[in-house]
Amino acid sequence: MRKSYFFAFFLILGLSYGFGQSERPKIGLTLSGGGAKGLAHIGILKAIDSAGVKIDYITGTSMGAVVGSLYAIGYSGKQIEKLARNIDWGLLLSNEMALKSLAMEEKGEYGKYAIELPIIKRKLSLPIGVLQGQELWFKFAELYKPVRGISDFASFSIPFKCVATDIITGKAVVFDSGDISTAVRASMAIPSAFTPVDLDGMKLVDGGMLRNFPVRDVKEMGADIVIGSSLSSGLYSRERLNNVIDILLQLAFFKENDDFLEEVPLCDYYVEQTLEGYSMASFGDSETIIDLGIEKGESIFPEIKHLADSLDAIYGKQIFVEDRLPKNDSVLINSHSIIGLESTTETFFIHAIKFGDGKYYTEAAISDLIRKVYGTRYYSSINFKIIKHEDNTNEVVFRVVENPLTYAKLGLHYNDFSGISALLNFTTRDFFTKYSRSLVTYNIGENLRLLGEHMQYFGLQKNVALIARLQVENFKFNTYTDLSRTGQYKQFYTVGELKGQYAGNRDWTGGIGIRQEYIRFKPLVESRLEASGKNTFLTSFAFLKFNTFDRPIYPNKGLKLEAELGSVFNQKPDIEFLEDGVPITDLSTLGIDYENYQRLSIMLDAYQPIAPKWTFNVVFQAGLNFNYSQNLVNNFQVGGLTRTFRNQITFAGYNEGVISTASVATLGLGVNCSLFKNGYLTFKSNGLVSNFTSREKYLRFDTWLTGHAVSFAYLTPIGALEFSIMYGDQSNDLGTYVNFGIPF
């Protein structure tokens, strides 16, 4: 700290003469912005609590506003530390939401595309910020529950102000009243990172653009002694300006730097925490930053303690209360209102969240309800506040921002099997009918793939749906004998499907349907046994899906189940079989017929944390065709690490299609290690048994198989890049496998 004990003594002595012995000097606290580095303020708060210093006023900007406001409403330094260490910052400061909050039919599309751009008035629109931060709104609602209904920030346990910037006028906006969640969210809305907050005709962004260290405001509130904790070291040096991002930040904070130089001298105790090597975005290092802040707090504790002892010596012992947090439990909600509805209705919104007046709710409970309707993807932002009226009734006000109804999406995918491709998707809602979703996805690359789907919701809670799907694809795939490649085929496949489903909740859905499939194939490489031709058939089926994954790729916990039981009938084959180039006219010699048969497919995938950064994974897959006589066209294809095509059973250690069989069951065990933020190392081993229901008579392969894979993955902003080394015990082959992005 800048001030010495000697200075502190004369500062307090001078104040005592100026105010008289009976008037204790007021102490103000100012916390600067700094993004992730702002978590270091927590250590200063703990030092203040340990020293028994009572803070009378607080100001803050950006992350300083977050930490400062929590302290102001009554959280202690220890309580804020516990909150910060337990928060999932990756989820909180992103556009992601827990996958379990999404409707089941939305989970398959979520997180699949690198770019999603809204189409408004038939034109592509660019977002005004990357992060909406829906989970951040939810967290604020829960954290600020103790001051529910208090709109005057001076009425907090410690009077509080925070600063934002209005980008329309270019002026600083100082919040001392209103909704505390909105005020703090505006103060931390870093331009181009977070979306601005629209309020009373203003468009508000991070206060750090103009006033990152608002010391003068705490002086104006009445502070006689100011403790200032700053994470800014001024403008970057010449050596630091080595990329476009740093240059843009330097330009953005020119004006703020001038203000910073004026604010620092107003502090009586100035704590500087530069935290070299960490940036505003270093939330992945939150634990370390908190620890560094605590170390800094311990280093200044003697001076803070000396301040407290000096004041007590002159003005008498002051009662210090560390736990100042008001108790505020559930509240009876008498009425509600919704602001911002345009495309959707109040009836849809209320039934989707299952909300009812005349019931008791907490902020956390209302947040959970909102996640249900947010999971329909009709809304980009939903926040709320509870208002207590003069007649002692309580109203919850929902403020919603609807998503545009149409989006254009772009993704990239590559793996060794399907090659490189771009995924172009158009998704629109309510285009043909109300409460519907229609999409078209086109795979542009080495393999033609096209998908069209229309889903229509029914019922008050929109948990019943009718889904029509048409898919077309053209693939090349290899064939194997005794685990060695012996041929290659080109396959053209189309499917038309109609199914009805019921979603019991966000975790599961089930239903029945019928599909018609058409397959045409021909060999590209000659082999001993060949087949060429086409087949058309119908399948009636029942299905069940269950998904509690916490995120779409590399989940930390959760269970995923996909099961289907079907009956295949009405086959119309036109297939020619050749052996050594000679047509086989009597198919009975191969045991082939085209009678009706039944089939079952199951995929069960489970993740469970077993230690910090370690997750255990178990995968069970099974595909069985019953009463299926060497039909080939509906065999299950074993191999590959990524599910890419119909009837595929992924299997570490072998390439796609290494086994083509009527029946197979596999069990895989693995562990995932989070090496660093977005970096994962995976170890996987699996085994299988095959050909145990309708046995193949002429395709030769081992009925028992084991394989292994070690994979490294890095989650880039446009998809996961995965590199794997595989080994098959029976083939004795060591190979590699590369995958990027999420497949079609």
Contacts of 688 (CB under 8 A, 6+ apart): 638, 649, 651, 659, 664, 665, 666, 667, 704, 705, 706
Residues 574, 535: contact at Cβ < 8 Å? Answer: yes
Tell me which amino acid residue 210 is. Answer: L
| Residue (of 694, 693, 696, 668) closest to 682 by Cα position | 668
The conformation of residue 158, written as its DSSP 8-state character, comes to: S
CB 212 within 8 A of CB 256: yes
Write the single-letter amino acid at 512: I
What phi, psi does 288 have (nearest 5°)?
Answer: -65, -40
Sign of CA dihedral 340, 343, 348, 353: negative
Name every residue whose Cβ is closer than 8 Å to that of residue 86 and which is 6 or more positions away in sequence: none
The residues, ordered by sequence, that sit 6+ positions from 550 with a Cβ below 8 Å of its Cβ are: 98, 99, 100, 556, 557, 558
What letter does residue 53 receive in the DSSP assignment? P
Return the ∠ at Cα 51 (arms to 48 and 53), rounded to 5°.
60
The catalytic residue among 32, 62, 187, 694 is 62
Tokens of 672: 């995932």
Q: Are strands 704-716 and 648-649 parallel, antiparallel or unpaired?
A: unpaired
DSSP for 651-668, please give it. BTTS-TTSEEESEEEEEE
Strand partners, 397: 337, 385
d(C-alpha 408, C-alpha 423), whole Å:
11
User: Considering only CA atoms, which of 449, 441, 439, 443 is closest in space to residue 377?
Assistant: 439
The catalytic position among 206, 259, 268, 605 is 206
Has 62 been annotated as catalytic?
Answer: yes
Half-sphere exposure in the Cβ direction for 683 (13 Å, CA): 6
**CB neighbours of residue 570 within 10 Å:** 11
Rounded Cα distance, 193 and 718, in Å: 17
Output the furthest CA–CA distance in the chain (Å, rounded): 114
Residues 6+ apart with CB under 8 A from 222: 26, 28, 56, 57
Q: Which residues lie below 8 Å from residue 301, measured CB to CB, with a gap of 6+? A: 47, 50, 51
Separation in Å, CA 341 to CA 64, 344, 602: 33, 6, 41
What is the per-residue DSSP string for 299-357? HHHHHHHHHHHHHHHHH------S--PPP---EEE-EEEEE--SSS-HHHHHHHHT--S
Question: Nearest Cα to 227, choosing from 348, 427, 413, 68?
Answer: 68
How distant, in Å, are the alpha carbons of 338, 351, 378, 432 from that of 347? 11, 6, 14, 20
Q: How far is CA 214 from CA 42, 226, 266, in A?
A: 18, 11, 10
CA angle 274, 275, 277 (to 5 degrees): 125
Q: Can you tell me which residue has the tokens 């919701």?
A: 457
206 is catalytic: yes
Q: Which residues contact 584 (CB under 8 A, 6 or more apart)?
A: 577, 578, 590
564, burial (CB in 10 Å: exposed 0-12, middle 13-18, buried 19+): middle
Per the listing, tokens 């929109």 go with 462
Q: Which residues contact 403 (CB under 8 A, 6 or more apart)?
A: 118, 377, 378, 379, 380
Reduced to 3 states, what is the DSSP secondary structure of residue 744? Answer: coil
Among all residues, which ones are annotated catalytic? 62, 206
